[in-house]
Structure 1
């Protein structure tokens, strides 16, 4: 919310100078706020803006210049101040701004802001949700229905504007592989003597087969380094994955040659690991080991 103060235009009888601020309407139009009253824009000229009280029965008016600095006030308000209405609008703007800038689920944003707000329960209850959901949809790409899609720029880079989309390639005519990793994560993976690999299926987008992650061990801790979307669990796909990572390592003047590789017992993967990392020890983690035993009981 932008706030400005009026310069000394009203003489000693109007001191201190009124402070004005601005909030947005549900239709994304600016509303001027002064002394807990709301004004809407009535007319604009090349030098001035003319605001009228949002209550149609009220005669109070405000003039500002084109820089939104207060120049004149006329009339008296015929109604009580709208303190809670203004607070609700400010509250909604905070939520909307977070919804646009973050990927945090909307209900969580709503709960966090409600916990910080000083609004009454009745005021919060009447807040419209449609505008908030609409704001999120406006900045969120449509969920694709095939693997043939482009990734928008903001989703291909980190919050610090560094590259995050590492691989975005078709491996067959209609099947794509996507890998996300920052340069720092790739350096950690390529320099790790022990790497962990695993796929998950329950949280995978429907158009892909699995979310595949690679972790590097450093300081005796496991750090996620690469997040991938794979179209299947076939041997050529895993070969493509490792070839691409090795090529990236060469470009970074590093060597992707771990000494220990840990994964599940997937036959296609085990064969590729044996070929691509012939000098490495390939073992399974305890979780996958017990799973394999249980399946054969």
Structure 2
């Protein structure tokens, strides 16, 4: 049955490989021939197939499915795709993004379909490689030496676009603060300073922070 209007959703499995969902079933790539891609059902003993041309479905194979639809698994894959997208677009810690999405889903467990979706979600441990690899596509590799550190453009600004790089001398003493941080620093009655070695990058010797109390809160300013 050829029908260019068939709607499919392109997703990734927990290994990062592309799959498509159609009518409650999930397919993985079988082979490619030019503009055409042939897909097979992800259930190993199911003979069902699907074909696409330039990502547009052109029809199903002649073999029937030998298992029921699995909408809950498809929803779980869609949620993981949403998590992966957030890991690329946001700067939040990846474990926090995962936990936010899973917690939101669990708080709405009100029927068997939602519960089944939760059960299909992969654990963070089994999916963290995929999520961290997704983030690495948008961020530079961590520098191995001090000379490899190149601070320019967005890496000298806050997420709100404020200038953040205060100092970068030839010996690689690097300081960060916004203009409002410096104003608060000058207006503070008491400064609190702290030096830490444990959380410092291996290329550096120490992280030193200057804090001040603003209202009832303590803030790191430099």
User: TM-score range, shorter-chain basis?
Assistant: 0.5 to 0.7
Matches within 5 A, 1:11-50: 18-50=6-38
Matches within 5 A, 1:1-297: 9=3, 18-66=6-54, 68-75=55-62, 76-117=64-105, 118-120=114-116, 122-124=119-121, 126-127=122-123, 129-133=125-129, 135-136=131-132, 139=136, 141-142=141-142, 150-151=149-150, 155-160=155-160, 163-171=163-171, 176-181=172-177, 185-186=178-179, 189=182, 194-195=187-188, 197-202=191-196, 205-206=199-200, 207-213=204-210, 226-227=221-222
Closer/same/farther in 2, CA of residues 97 and 47 from structure 1, 3 Å limit? closer
Structure 2 CA distance for aligned equivalents of residues 71 and 27 of structure 1: 26
CA RMSD across the alignment: 3.8
Structure 1 CA distance for aligned equivalents of residues 115 and 197 of structure 2: 37
Higher mean Cα deviation, 191-200 or 52-61? 191-200
Q: Which has the higher contact order (CA 8 A, sep 6+)?
A: 2
- Unaligned stretches of 5+ residues in structure 1: 1-7, 11-16, 228-297
Secondary structure of the 1:116 match is helix
Structure 2 CA distance for aligned equivalents of residues 133 and 45 of structure 1: 30
TM-score by length of 2: 0.68
For residue 39 of structure 1, report the CA deviation from its aligned partner.
Answer: 1.0
Closer/same/farther in 2, CA of residues 201 and 130 from structure 1, 3 Å limit? farther
Closer/same/farther in 2, CA of residues 169 and 133 from structure 1, 3 Å limit? farther
Closer/same/farther in 2, CA of residues 96 and 189 from structure 1, 3 Å limit? same
Task: Tell me if structure 1 keeps the 8 A contact 2:16–2:130.
Answer: no
Task: Tell me if structure 1 keeps the 8 A contact 2:12–2:19.
Answer: yes
For residue 38 of structure 1, report the CA deviation from its aligned partner.
Answer: 0.6
- Unaligned stretches of 5+ residues in structure 2: 106-113
Task: Tell me if structure 1 keeps the 8 A contact 2:26–2:41.
Answer: yes
Structure 2 CA distance for aligned equivalents of residues 24 and 128 of structure 1: 15
Closer/same/farther in 2, CA of residues 212 and 63 from structure 1, 3 Å limit? same
For residue 69 of structure 1, report the CA deviation from its aligned partner.
Answer: 1.8
Secondary structure of the 2:27 match is strand
For residue 128 of structure 1, report the CA deviation from its aligned partner.
Answer: 5.4
Structure 2 CA distance for aligned equivalents of residues 94 and 47 of structure 1: 28
Q: Which has the larger radius of gyration?
A: 1
